[in-house]
Structures are given as C-alpha cells and as structure tokens.
Structure 1
Amino acid sequence: MHERGMLIVLSGPSGVGKGTVRQAMLQDDFRDFQYSVSMTTRKPRPGEKDGIDYYFRTKEQFEQEIADGQMLEYAKYVDNYYGTPLKYVNQTLDAGRDVLLEIEVKGAMQVRAKCPDGVFIFLTPPDLVALKHRLVGRGTDDIATINKRIQQAAQEIKMMENYDYAVVNDEVPLAVKRIERIIESEHLRVPRVIDKYRNMVN
C-alpha cells in the first residue's frame, strides 16, 4: 500500500510572490507535486485561465459551495472570496501524491485546524518597502487598494507564529530551494514513516 501524500501549505502576504514561487516549484523536477487550484470570486487578471490559475466563480456560486460543505477552507480577502475545493485534495492525497496549496493566511489557519499533519510554510518579503514596490510594479491595483494590502500584510506577518517554517522570498530560485529542503526533511520525519517500518518488522 502506498503512503498517503503530504499536504504542503504555502501562504503569505499579497504581493510576496506566492504564485511565482509556486510556478517555479511545479516546473522543477524535485518532486511530483499536484497543485490544488483555488477557487475565487475575484476577476481574472490578464493571462489567467479558469481551472489553471483559479476556478473563477460568482459570489453566489461560491457561497453555495460553502453551504454544501465542499470547501477545505475559505476566506474573504479585500472583498473577494478565496478557497480550496475539498474533494479534489483528499482524492489526490489518498493516491499518494503531495498536494501544494497556495492560499491566504486566514484560509491556512482553517486548514491547520483540519489537517494538523500538513506542512505550513510562510513566504515573507525582505521588508514592507520591497513588498509595496512589488505591488506597484504588478500594475493590477490602484494606490488605495495597494495601501489596504500593505496594512493587511503587516497584520498577516504577525500570524507567522502559527506556521512551521518562514522562507524569505528575496530571489525566487533561492526561495524554491529552501522550500524543497523543508519538504525533503518533512518526508523523512519519523511520525510520517513509522507505520511502514512497524509493518516491516511485524
């Protein structure tokens, strides 16, 4: 019988580069990740595709998923819902594949309560000035929204204590390597492998 996959949760402030780091991880040959596409009610940004970057849904559709108990986690962030469909995550873990979630901080805390054996990684900016430059450079938000995101980021960074690891995203390739080392180590932790060896000696 194969081992159940490991749930890896990557989150951090808006603009820290979660999506860029996630894409770099999935392009690396380090491990066979399955990225769990999140669902959101925000409008697609240029180049984003439904079912690849996000499942784009209306507010009414998203709230029906919540009512049906079909969300592993969800949060409302800057007037939009974000969340993770439950069924797909469980099926993938049961098949023995690692699942990578890229989600907001509030959603990660819901997952932590339901999946305490997950690996929770907080991606941080070098500092808030660098974060603001990234948000401005992205060119997708007006200055009022950017300032709102910076204030939110300061609050989210205080929640880092609820995570297992903190990784600075100063350069994407370095951040990816740090995360890969964490995952490699987590797969070797005794609580994750002990049952296999108990079966072996019995």
Structure 2
Amino acid sequence: MYHDRVPSVAVVIPAFNEAETVTDVIQAALSLTGDVVVASDGSTDNTAEVARAAGAQVVELPHNAGKGPALKAALQATTADYVVMLDADLVGLKREHLDILLSPVLSGKLGMSIGIFDGGGLITDLGNKLTPHLSGQRACARAWLLSVPHLGAERWPEPAITAALKEQHIKWDYVELPNLKQVMKEKKRGFWKGARYRTKMYIDLFGFKRRKKKAEKGG
C-alpha cells in the first residue's frame, strides 16, 4: 500500500558565545528530532564543543558574521522539509514549545509560526511582546526560508523574513510559548556592555528597509 512520506523536521540554532545555555536547548530539540544543527557564529567560548557533546551537528563560522549568516549556514547543513528556529539562550524550553510552533505549519494552517513568551518572566515577556516580530522562535518550510532575499546578508534576519512574509502574502501568526524565557543580553555581557549591544542591534534592525532599497537599486 502506498503511504505519503512523512515530512522531515530539523531544529536550527544560531549561537554566539552561548555555551552556558545551548545544551538545554539542544536536549529539548532532540526530543523532537535527531536533526539538530547549531551554527556557532564565530564564538570565542566553547559553544561548538559543548553543542557537539550535547548531540548536535555543529557548523562553525570562522568569524562573528551575525545571526543571518549563521542561520543560513544551519539551513544549508540540513535537508529537512521543515525547520524550527530557536535562539540558543532559551531557558525552560520543552518539547511542548516545539510542538506549539510546528503543529500549525505541518497542518498547513500557517506558512510560518512565530513564538512569543508568555509567563516566562516580566522582563522577557515585556520585551518579546513589545517587538514580537523580532522573535527568534519560528517554524516554517526550510526551502521557503532559504529563498528569503537578503537572509544571509543581514546580521539580524528577522526584518528580511518579515518583509518576505508580507511581499509573498504568506499566512503567519503568533503563538504563545508558556513559561519560556531567554537570558537578557545585559545579564550575559554585563549591564553597560549588554545595553550597548542591544542599542547597536536595534539600530541595525531598523536600518533594514534602507539597505533593502539600496540593494534593489543596485547601490
């Protein structure tokens, strides 16, 4: 009897100096699939070694190029039909969170799901809900994500993904991820260094439209 092929799923995790948290993220991802890829974005700590020891396939970028290039490298390292994107600094990740992200995509209800924190902590909940379109927790078809213009050229890929969703009229929605949070940059890097990093990140994120227009004009 003929059976339709079960779609394959991978979890892709861009990571820069996340040795302290990446193991727990990988272990949760492995509860969903054996195809877990961590792209170490020029990490200067032992993120790559820790990720391998936890059971992930690891791609190492030679220098810190940004989340966009790391994400693209992770996508190119798997042949899965669908991917779940995760940040490497999540705290409290469980299999149920992955199912929440993936289910509406596998069912065909959504082309992309975007996860937002709910009940993970005041600061991370607030930050995530103020800028939900910047969430790194997503699920979609791998081929579509790889086709997103400027994906590998942007240090932060979320604005490029958002633009592609709108321009291609892809159906997407937010899904709530209960009791999940991530380590704040100010905690990881120290308050002032973390604050400067966050400011630089937002400047880069909000400059996407200008860079996109310039690229389209061939400038």
Shorter chain as denominator, the TM-score bin is 0.3 to 0.5
- Using structure 2 for the length normalisation, give the TM-score: 0.34
The higher radius of gyration belongs to 1
Greater length-normalized contact order (CA 8 Å, ≥ 6 residues apart): 1
